[in-house]
């Protein structure tokens, strides 16, 4: 009963923290002692009064923390949209973003417009071009544009850095930890793939060397938590040091002191991410309980750690990593044993024991993941079961290899030994992520979280077998219905996918989120203009349209939302027509496609060709343009018509200025049936171009709930004025267009 009370206190405090940090401008009292005192007399007369009073005092402390931080956060938020110069201290590990920047959390020391700095301390998220020295504890001077985050985010401002320099490198233990990490990453990088890039993530939580496709596979297979240092890693470190000191006949105080010292050094080495902080605090409390001779159950320790951390940093309540870490730990403490008892009815006990742990974590964490992720891993339990034996081996030996850096021969030997389990984990991730129906695409939000929670509860009740027969039958019915729906969905998105869309189409705007991917078909030949960023979303569109081979792949420009999934088509593309190459990463994409057999061809004005019976030509950009050398404004603009394809103009990501030049060039001098709206319907458009095109159908490839406000109201208005009907993939899903005898036929997956 006491365990339940402490857990309820933690949940209540978590809810209060979420409320306080998500309401902008909330007037929070500097101290809640008066509130607690007012209810103290009433609370003492009731059972559980101590818990009520403790809860009120904790809530008061939490409110005081929020109130104390609010002035600095408001000053920082006022920098939204401004060009700022900031002096920041790095407080997290750096990771490579999809935009090519290096991203990390930091604490501001000074910030403001250039030459108008003010001293202020508040958390920010910083993205800069790759730079050496962005280590934990280093101080950087960053110039860039600030963008305010939503209420409830731990960081107040995101700084998109255009220039950065190291003002003061990491010193002391932070410098030592950075050197050890870098040395281990270099040592692991000399090992073969698979496994080399993943090993630093498994050992010390550094994911900079993990290839993007491996990261996506780890996420899809439900194994991404293995590269996020958690309670298991902290427990291994503490237990190992405690055992070694005991072996050397050290006393209890020495064992606890050295274990805590090693734990602190480990946290610095792996950087204090939310899950690491939660695990280290919980481990510290457990060691303190051992020192006092009062070992406690795991749930009270977890609840105390959660409450304490939320009081110190209420914004952790909105951090997915912290929530998943605490929830997974609670699941292991509370749910794994009942699941084990239920599973032994169906399988041998050793298998049930191995399965109960990942299943408990999956059932409890699934609803939390559904709040912010648009995919749910279906193969997560199986993947974790397969990876479970290798994970601690790779983690422990990898960590030893990291610490053995002063002895290169020993470090090389240990790194090689850790490589094999890392390779097994990576292979498990890629194989399971590639299985049909490995993930389920779902809209993120409370509704999906409720549905996933209902299914998790039903599965738990089926396995645990409650005393109520009606409850058990109801849970079984929910599970059976969910399995039937999932099987039907797998068929409709797999072998039967092409049967869900009509066959008479020549243009298909794929629903791939925030990005572009347009299929064109003529006389049995297919072209794909851009690929979007998500290989899975592109794969679903290709399956739904029955597309196996791509005769012509057009990469209009090299932004991630246009080429991110391009390499997933390796071996299926005959010819690649691409825009100007500006970065080495752009060339790597082309090289990978070429290595798989594709012929590369750079496009510019005058480039033309055929697709079946259709003819296409490039009408932008001018060759070797000094004004538009690369990027959005150098997007290939494709004009295609004939062979059953209604005349179509695809504008890439052109802004208004190049649109005006395109119009004045005379290369767009006729009416079109279809126009692909530039830049997902951004505000930067030239109305005269759309008036000249006067296309009855305007396709807008855009992601639901994107941060840019695409498509903008101004763009929708100018399309309406030009007589164009806007068809948005975020609302319509897959959009198919066909033409016969001068008439257009339109089919959409969803009705708006």
pLDDT tens-place string over residues 128-171: 888 887 777 888 888 888 888 876 677 888 888 888 888 888 88
What are the tens digits of pLDDT across the range 429-473? Answer: 888 887 766 676 666 778 878 888 888 888 888 888 777 778 778
pTM over 0.75: no
**Mean pLDDT value across residues 479-502:** 61
Phi, psi of 583 (to 5 degrees): -125, 155
Burial of 431 (0-12, 13-18, 19+ CB in 10 A): middle
pLDDT band of 229, cuts 50, 70, 90: low
Helices (H) and strands (E) in the chain, counts: 25, 24
**Residue 105 scores a pLDDT above 70:** yes
What is the distance between the alpha carbons of residues 640 and 655, in angstroms, rounded to a whole number? Answer: 21
pLDDT of residue 50: 57
What is the distance between the alpha carbons of residues 367 and 73, in angstroms, rounded to a whole number? Answer: 30
pLDDT of residue 676: 94
Domain ranges of the chain: 2-73, 78-170, 174-222+387-439, 497-748
For the chain, the average pLDDT equals 78
**Residue 403 scores a pLDDT above 60:** yes
What are the tens digits of pLDDT across the range 294-310? Answer: 555 567 777 777 777 77
Considering just the CA atoms, what is the radius of gyration of the chain in Å? 28
- Does the domain at 497-748 match CATH 3.60.15.10? Answer given as yes
What is the distance between the alpha carbons of residues 745 and 505, in angstroms, rounded to a whole number? Answer: 8
pLDDT band of 35, cuts 50, 70, 90: very low
More confident residue, 223 or 418: 418
Check: CB of residue 87 under 8 Å from CB of residue 139: yes
More confident residue, 618 or 372: 618
pLDDT band of 690, cuts 50, 70, 90: very high
pLDDT of residue 616: 93
**Mean pLDDT value across residues 622-642:** 83
What is the DSSP code string of 561-610?
A: HHHTTGGGGTTSEEEEEE----SHHHHHHHHHHHHTTPEEEE--TT-EEE
pLDDT of residue 139: 87
What is the DSSP code string of 307-325?
A: HHHHHH-GGGGG-HHHHHH
CB 573: neighbour CB atoms within 10 A?
Answer: 20
Which element (helix H / strand E) includes 127? strand 123-128
What is the DSSP code string of 154-174?
A: SSSEEEEEEEEEEEE---HHH
More confident residue, 404 or 225: 404
pLDDT of residue 42: 41
**Mean pLDDT value across residues 45-51:** 53
- Assign a CATH topology to domain 78-170: OB fold (Dihydrolipoamide Acetyltransferase, E2P) (2.40.50)
pLDDT of residue 316: 76
**Residue 648 scores a pLDDT above 90:** yes
pLDDT of residue 15: 58
pLDDT of residue 191: 84
């Amino acid at each position: 009963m006491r365990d339940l009370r402490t857990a309820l206190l933690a949940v209540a405090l978590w809810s209060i923290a979420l409320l306080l940090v998500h309401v902008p401008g909330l007037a929070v009292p500097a101290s809640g002692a008066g509130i607690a005192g007012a209810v103290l007399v009433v609370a003492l007369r009731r059972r559980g009064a101590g818990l009520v009073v403790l809860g009120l005092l904790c809530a008061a402390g939490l409110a005081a923390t929020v109130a104390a931080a609010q002035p600095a956060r408001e000053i920082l938020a006022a920098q939204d949209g401004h060009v700022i110069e900031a002096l920041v201290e790095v407080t997290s590990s750096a990771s490579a973003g999809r935009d090519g920047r290096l991203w990390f959390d930091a604490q501001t020391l000074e910030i403001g417009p250039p030459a108008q700095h003010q001293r202020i301390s508040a958390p920010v998220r910083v993205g800069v071009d790759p730079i050496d020295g962005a280590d934990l504890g280093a101080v950087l001077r960053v110039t860039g544009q600030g963008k305010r985050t939503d209420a409830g985010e731990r960081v107040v401002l995101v700084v998109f850095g255009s220039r950065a320099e190291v003002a003061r490198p990491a010193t002391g233990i932070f410098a030592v930890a950075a050197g050890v990490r870098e040395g281990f990453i270099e040592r692991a990088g000399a090992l073969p793939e698979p496994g080399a890039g993943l090993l630093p993530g498994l050992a010390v939580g550094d994911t900079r060397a993990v290839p993007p496709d491996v990261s996506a596979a780890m996420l899809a297979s439900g194994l991404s938590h293995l590269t996020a240092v958690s309670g298991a890693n902290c427990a291994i470190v503490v237990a190992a040091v405690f055992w070694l000191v005991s072996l050397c006949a050290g006393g209890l105080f020495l064992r606890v002191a050295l274990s805590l010292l090693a734990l602190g050094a480990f946290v610095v080495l792996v950087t204090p991410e939310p899950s690491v902080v939660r695990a280290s605090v919980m481990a510290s409390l457990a060691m303190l309980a051992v020192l006092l001779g009062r070992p406690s159950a795991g749930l009270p320790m977890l609840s105390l750690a959660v409450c304490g951390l939320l009081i110190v940093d209420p914004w952790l309540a909105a951090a997915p990593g912290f929530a998943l870490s605490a929830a997974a730990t609670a699941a292991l403490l509370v749910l794994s044993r009942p699941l084990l008892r239920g599973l032994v009815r169906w399988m041998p006990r050793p298998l049930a024991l191995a399965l109960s742990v990942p299943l408990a974590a999956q059932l409890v964490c699934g609803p939390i993941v559904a709040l912010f992720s648009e995919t749910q891993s279906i193969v997560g339990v199986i993947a974790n079961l397969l990876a479970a034996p290798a994970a601690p081996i790779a983690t422990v030996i990898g960590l030893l290899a990291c610490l053995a850096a002063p002895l290169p021969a020993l470090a090389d030997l240990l790194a090689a030994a850790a490589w094999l389990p890392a390779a097994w984990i990576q292979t498990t991730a890629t194989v399971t992520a590639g299985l049909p129906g490995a993930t389920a695409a779902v809209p993120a939000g409370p509704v999906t979280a409720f549905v996933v929670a209902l299914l998790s509860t039903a599965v738990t009740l089926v396995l645990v077998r409650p005393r109520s027969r009606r409850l058990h039958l109801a849970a079984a019915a929910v599970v059976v219905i969910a399995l039937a729906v999932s099987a039907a969905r797998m068929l409709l998105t797999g072998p039967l996918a092409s049967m869900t869309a009509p066959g008479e189409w020549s243009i298909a705007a794929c629903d791939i989120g925030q990005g572009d991917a347009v299929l064109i078909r003529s006389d049995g030949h297919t072209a794909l203009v851009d690929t979007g960023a998500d290989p899975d979303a592109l794969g679903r569109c290709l399956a739904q349209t029955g597309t196996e081979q791509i005769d012509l792949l057009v990469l209009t420009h090299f932004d991630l939302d246009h080429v991110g999934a391009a390499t997933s088509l390796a071996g299926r593309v005959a010819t690649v027509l691409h825009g100007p190459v500006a970065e080495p990463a752009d060339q790597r994409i082309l090289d990978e496609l070429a290595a798989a057999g594709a012929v590369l061809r750079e496009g510019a004005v005058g480039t033309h060709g055929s697709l079946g019976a259709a003819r296409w030509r490039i009408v932008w950009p001018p060759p070797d343009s000094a004004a538009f050398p690369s990027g959005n404004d150098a997007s290939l603009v494709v004009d295609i018509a004939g062979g059953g394809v209604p005349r179509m103009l695809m504008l890439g990501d052109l802004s208004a200025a190049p649109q005006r030049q395109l119009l004045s060039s005379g290369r767009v001098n006729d009416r079109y049936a279809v126009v692909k709206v530039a830049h997902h319907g951004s505000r930067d458009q030239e109305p005269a171009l759309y008036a000249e095109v006067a296309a009855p159908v305007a396709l807008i490839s855009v992601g639901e709930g994107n941060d840019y406000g695409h498509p903008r109201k101004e763009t929708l208005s100018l399309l309406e004025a030009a007589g164009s009907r806007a068809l948005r993939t975020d609302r319509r899903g897959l959009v198919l267009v066909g033409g016969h005898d001068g008439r257009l036929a339109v089919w959409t997956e969803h009705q708006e």
